[in-house]
Amino acid sequence: MDVVDVQKRMLEFYGIQVEREMGRYVLRRLAQPGSALRELPVIGGNARTGVPVRTLIDPSRFMPSSPAVVS
């Protein structure tokens, strides 16, 4: 998963557009151990209105549904 994937998932699941730096922040938080990751604060803009949004999201929505196969 990369920053572009995070941006797409934020838009798809929450209707929030985030900048690249917020996407990097989300990726860093997802790399932390699971117990420290119950809620993830995110700041972005509402995709329809552009109004700034700060919300807590469920980080499990960003985890890949199946593990990536590395060869």
Q: What is the pTM of this model?
A: 0.75
- Report the half-sphere exposure of 15 (CA within 13 A, side-chain side): 8
Q: Given this model, what pLDDT does residue 71 score? A: 38
Q: Given this model, what pLDDT does residue 23 score? A: 93
Helices then strands (H, E): number in the chain? 2, 3
Residue 8 lies in a domain: yes
Q: Domain of 51: which CATH number?
A: 3.90.640.10
Q: Given this model, what pLDDT does residue 64 score? A: 62
What is the number of structural domains in the chain?
1
Q: Given this model, what pLDDT does residue 34 score? A: 65
Q: Check whether 58 has a pLDDT greater than 80.
A: yes
